[in-house]
Structure 1
């Protein structure tokens, strides 16, 4: 996917690691936009092998929710890996995985008094495990799963086959999976009235599909429709949860408690960890249906406990909400300065900057210019990635520990990058060699 001709250039004197990666690591797990190499990282900054520092406005697609090398995560992982009480929960138990499951049941709102937690390694397997169990619970009478156009729920397995948006041109929807437009509560309600769906799967804020924030009544109406029709409401919090919006769950912002909740990315603070919370009756319908040898790994569980502890003890929910106000104001000012910016959308430390061409050109999605702006921002010292079906939305998901100064500095870099693109000083086609979405 990545052209080696794109690896060299002014300011990048150390192409060796990237070249070796291109030769040795399968492109099936590459989603690249510029030649980023990371030698080490701390907090909200990454350092390249050359010593160049970059502000990470993505936090590794949201996985580094506490930033990199957070002391609480580092200490918990180091302590646990020396004891290593097993590798998972497949054929034994360990105290840390049990404690993590108990902590999640206490912290994550739910509708059912009897719930259990499926621990995994990534958001994809959390969603896949939940979907398999839901279908077993519902039986042949309700074979359908209702999802939303341009939704993203995973890159592997059943989760990938309920996603309306994916890399590499997408994959077909699975049997019984139907889509309605995201944010269209009327369409969702009409579909649910048929009572052929076991569950509806929704992102409280659509992330990879374009950073779309629905109307305030969208999730409450879905909750009411599910209650009316006996359908499970499954909320995918993998990317938008874990405190990013100023509350632990993005769905809590709208006052909604789901039947099934999935978490990933930030839950492990950079370690591979995910969780799916669902009624025990759902899990009991599919014993042994989703087995991973290292799921419930105690080292990863220790990281998850450290993340949950730090979010609470360090006041990071309030910090995200406060910086969210700063971000919202700064984005409004950024939009006023740049004709390429058609819209800005944000909630807490989660934001999207949508780029479109001029009205004279029909206001087309400016995917090419977005790629150029992000490549230029990388050259100037900040990292962010594009999302959306047309790859024309700059997504911002910085670490919850980012400082106001770092956030403003990162936005200044984006400001300069957009200025250069609008002035015609950036080769916007150079980023095409990296493949992207």
Structure 2
């Protein structure tokens, strides 16, 4: 591993009450001018960041074990990524890639089609956000197949624009008052490897639901594609049973449907492989990329097999797609992951962190499951007597951890997600697990009162 990870960052240091006075002033200003639709986990106002360390406007330092939301995979403001973006800023900011050609995004595209799961020849469309990649994938699937329907999964999150929102099925508030959405989307259960009745039964429930859907409500020859997260993100960091993706690939092939993998949160080393589908050796027809692609600069990509990328010039485009500054950052991200051995680090440190959290679960009755791959780990809290989700407890734990300097975020009904930078060390993972354990202990006591 590189020298940058040989010396762990100083532990979090909280110097003021939280939130501090400068943070309070910024929050008040924000509330006056920023749309209330933008959710905030807790009142943290970030001034600067480096690696895993975030400093707020009051001078408190935190460890970001959410990486934004699985975005800063090589750590905040990685020197190599920042330098690449700065160099590109000095050369060219906007080439109108939708009308002309530019070297940096083409160089990136050549690398991404090689890194995407599977050995087939591929082509790529750049976007600016994950939801744009999803929309592009939906449009391409309809155009290529001549079909209009989609199948997605309960608990899925694919974005908040109208097409992607139609696929999303994780929280009702995302859809309230926005209907009618894009028609022709149906959802089936996503199988959970840690299901109470076992992974085999969970797997069969999913495929029984798929068969029932085609038998009773949806003509198979109208379905353009099946959209799936290899590991569910917002739905609770849910890992599917072994064999799920292979069977889903077979099911799609049997019915002439495209398999569309949403790797927006699972990509760029998050699970210990470049993309999570690599764990199962399954090649999607379309792979959606975003979040960690450029370490914080706005960029996404929709990669498809060349025979699927069958639409003609002008069918789909975007003013800012293929931005060379974001492309330069993304090329640097790929370099850093390769040069610093971050895939292997995500696997080894991720296994260590998951083991530490599993040890904690043995001591805390309210932790029902610890699950994940690489540095994408979820800790779920349920009532040990009833099995009901303890959403209030997980929220309390999240805030208690923040007040100790550990930034984590929720997902699912009552799961805390761990998605730290791929650069963290075993020592940092252990320290974070200790901070989390203290937060859990205090939150459990507080909720019992």
With over 3 angstroms needed to count, the CA separation of the structure-2 counterparts of 1:166 and 1:95, relative to structure 1, is farther
Which piece of structure 1 moves more, 399-408 or 9-18?
Answer: 9-18
Aligned residue in 2 for 1:231? 257
Report Cα offsets for 1:228-248 as digits up to 9, x if no partner: 222111100000111111110
With over 3 angstroms needed to count, the CA separation of the structure-2 counterparts of 1:383 and 1:426, relative to structure 1, is farther
Report Cα offsets for 1:67-113 as digits up to 9, x if no partner: 10101111100100011153441112210011111111122133643
Aligned residue in 1 for 2:370? 344
2:161 matched to 1:156? yes
Contact 1:340 1:356 survives alignment (8 Å):
yes
The structural deviation recorded for 1:280 is 3.5
Runs of 5+ consecutive residues of structure 1 not aligned to the other structure: 1-7, 428-437
With over 3 angstroms needed to count, the CA separation of the structure-2 counterparts of 1:167 and 1:61, relative to structure 1, is farther
SS in 2 for 1:126: helix
The structural deviation recorded for 1:192 is 6.0
Aligned residue in 2 for 1:375? 399
Aligned residue in 1 for 2:278? 252
Distance, in Å, in 2 between the alignment partners of 1:116 and 1:166 is: 33
Q: TM-score, length-normalised on structure 2?
A: 0.87
The structural deviation recorded for 1:225 is 1.4
Aligned residue in 1 for 2:408? 384
Distance, in Å, in 2 between the alignment partners of 1:240 and 1:192 is: 29
2:326 matched to 1:300? yes
Structure 2 residue corresponding to 1:34, chosen from 30, 38, 42: 42
Q: TM-score, length-normalised on structure 1?
A: 0.90
With over 3 angstroms needed to count, the CA separation of the structure-2 counterparts of 1:252 and 1:10, relative to structure 1, is closer
Contact 1:81 1:299 survives alignment (8 Å):
yes
Distance, in Å, in 1 between the alignment partners of 2:405 and 2:289 is: 30
Aligned residues: 412
2:26 matched to 1:17? yes
Structure 1 residue corresponding to 2:106, chosen from 98, 103, 113: 98
Distance, in Å, in 2 between the alignment partners of 1:88 and 1:158 is: 25
Q: How does 1:70-219 map to 2 (within 5 A)?
A: 70-84=78-92, 86-110=94-118, 112-113=120-121, 115-139=122-146, 142-166=147-171, 168-170=173-175, 174-183=182-191, 184-188=206-210, 191=213, 194-219=220-245
Report Cα offsets for 1:5-51 as digits up to 9, x if no partner: xxx965623211122112111122x2212101101000011011111
The structural deviation recorded for 1:144 is 1.2
Distance, in Å, in 2 between the alignment partners of 1:65 and 1:9 is: 29
Distance, in Å, in 2 between the alignment partners of 1:167 and 1:248 is: 32
Contact 2:151 2:186 survives alignment (8 Å):
yes
SS in 2 for 1:227: helix
Structure 1 residue corresponding to 2:441, chosen from 404, 419, 424: 419
Distance, in Å, in 1 between the alignment partners of 2:407 and 2:246 is: 35
Distance, in Å, in 2 between the alignment partners of 1:112 and 1:190 is: 32
The structural deviation recorded for 1:403 is 1.9
2:298 matched to 1:276? no
With over 3 angstroms needed to count, the CA separation of the structure-2 counterparts of 1:258 and 1:192, relative to structure 1, is farther
The structural deviation recorded for 1:190 is 5.4
SS in 2 for 1:277: strand
Which piece of structure 1 moves more, 119-128 or 280-289?
Answer: 280-289
The structural deviation recorded for 1:196 is 2.7
Distance, in Å, in 2 between the alignment partners of 1:70 and 1:195 is: 48
Contact 1:85 1:94 survives alignment (8 Å):
no
Give the CA RMSD over aligned residues: 2.0
Contact 1:185 1:218 survives alignment (8 Å):
no
Aligned residue in 2 for 1:288? 314
The structural deviation recorded for 1:187 is 2.7
SS in 2 for 1:47: strand
2:430 matched to 1:404? no
Contact 2:368 2:384 survives alignment (8 Å):
no
With over 3 angstroms needed to count, the CA separation of the structure-2 counterparts of 1:192 and 1:82, relative to structure 1, is farther
Distance, in Å, in 2 between the alignment partners of 1:11 and 1:119 is: 39
Contact 2:160 2:174 survives alignment (8 Å):
no
